[in-house]
Amino acid sequence: MANGLDDVVAAETVLSDVDGVGGHLTIRGHSLMELAGRRRYAQVVRLLFDGFFDDLPSDAELEKAIGKARVEVFDRVQPMLAQLAPLDIYSGMRAGMAVLPDGDSLADALRLIAAPAVLTPALLQLGRGETPVVPDEKADHAGDMLRMLSGTASPALAKALDSYLVTVCDHGLNASTFATRVVASTQAGLTSAILAGLGALKGPLHGGAPGPVIEMLDAIEASGDATAWLRKEIAHGERIMGFGHRVYRVRDPRADALKTVVRQLGSRSETGSRLALAETVEQAALEVLRIAKPQRSIQTNVEFYTALLLEAVGFPKEAFSNVFAAGRVAGWIAHAREQQATGRLIRPQSRYVGPVPDLVA
């Protein structure tokens, strides 16, 4: 039995499909390329939520409702921010989200959408000894997140962040989405289900990889020889962060979507030189991995260019997984609602391989 449940189909979904051989991602009937950079995050939230909430308003009204939810979440968590600030930024965000009401309504869902976008900048600001910036309910979601982070949000950076949030909004039955669906299948509320997803996303084999990608780029830049650095890592049994995927045997389409966004930002000299370094490292890593693991097709995954994009828009590497959660939370909620609607508890079997008790005559 495969411990990683490889190739096991554990849910039917209308939300997204990952074609690991063709290298395509479909989200509710749209290819990723139709959505990333073309639809705003709030529109994609609506796309994912369609059919899972009775009272879903229009795109414009939903964007406003998400803005109101940011203000509501800020008011709710503000009194506890000082206690959360000493925690690492991911744990602080998770603890802040844990106090949200555990219901199943659209209002509950929108608070969960808003929460990572509010808590992450607020905790970063407190960590820098500054006062958190209050959300602006009229601003767009990504723009407001950047404004809360640094006081301003250029339209170009806001658009780049928005494209990122859309790109990572949903991705089949990945580990965090599966964890979310397991909890949702018990008919626990949305907050409980999303907390399960948050726990799974944190690990470096899933959403925790982009921070280490930055560390790798910095170390390679300092060493001056990408191939030698990467060979040494492989020789020590280390994994190269930002490469490999359980489902994709070809290049992750999200890597290209994000690289395009980074290239558009590349006229800023810092991002341009970072992109040039990343491209050199990527080519070297693909070659080193091809030689070291010839039996496996290990290609660039979403996390490699995530790291560059989030660095370019101004997030510190410790907060990259938080921003991933800010995008993926939409998919988690839709999957939780889809699972709840089946009414079926997820409860697989395990095979006992431990010692058996002595039979007493």
Contact set with ligand COA (CB under 6 A): 4, 205, 209, 239-246, 289, 293, 296, 298, 301-303
CA atoms within 13 A on the CB side of 125: 20
Q: At 92, list the tokens.
A: 């602080």
What is the distance of C-alpha 173 from the center of its chain? Answer: 13
Please identify which of the residues 141, 171, 245, 335 carries the catalytic annotation: 245
Q: What are phi and psi of 17, to 5 degrees?
A: -135, 130
Minimum CB separation of residue 118 from ligand COA in Å reads: 26
Among 179, 178, 190, 169, which residue's Cα sits nearest to residue 340? 190
According to DSSP H, which parts of 168-267 are helical? 175-184, 190-201, 210-223, 226-235, 253-265
Residue with Cβ nearer ligand COA (177 or 340): 177
Give the CB-nearest residue to ligand COA: 244
Minimum CB separation of residue 96 from ligand COA in Å reads: 25
For the question of residue 245 being annotated catalytic, the response is yes
Residue with Cβ nearer ligand COA (39 or 254): 254
User: Could you give the CA distance from residue 180 to residue 202 in angstroms, rounded to a whole number?
Assistant: 13
User: Could you give the CA distance from residue 121 to residue 239 in angstroms, rounded to a whole number?
Assistant: 30
Minimum CB separation of residue 24 from ligand COA in Å reads: 16
Q: Which residues of 281-299 are buried (b: 16+ CB within 10 A; e: fewer)?
A: bbebbbebbeeeeeeeebb
Residue with Cβ nearer ligand COA (127 or 199): 199
For the question of residue 206 being annotated catalytic, the response is no
What Rg, from alpha-carbon coordinates, does the chain have? Answer: 21
Contacts of range 40-45, beta carbons closer than 8 Å, 24 or more positions apart: 40/140, 40/141, 40/162, 40/166, 41/140, 41/141, 41/142, 41/162, 41/165, 41/166, 41/169, 41/327, 41/330, 42/66, 42/140, 42/141, 44/165, 44/166, 44/169, 44/330, 45/113, 45/169, 45/330
Minimum CB separation of residue 108 from ligand COA in Å reads: 28
Q: What are phi and psi of 332, to 5 degrees?
A: -55, -45
Query: How is the beta sheet containing 16-19 ordered, strand by strand?
Result: 16-19, 24-27, 30-31
Residue with Cβ nearer ligand COA (100 or 325): 325
Please identify which of the residues 303, 311, 335, 338 carries the catalytic annotation: 303
Minimum CB separation of residue 77 from ligand COA in Å reads: 29
User: Could you give the CA distance from residue 92 to residue 142 in angstroms, rounded to a whole number?
Assistant: 20
Minimum CB separation of residue 306 from ligand COA in Å reads: 9
Minimum CB separation of residue 289 from ligand COA in Å reads: 6
Residue with Cβ nearer ligand COA (298 or 309): 298
So which residues are the catalytic ones? 245, 303
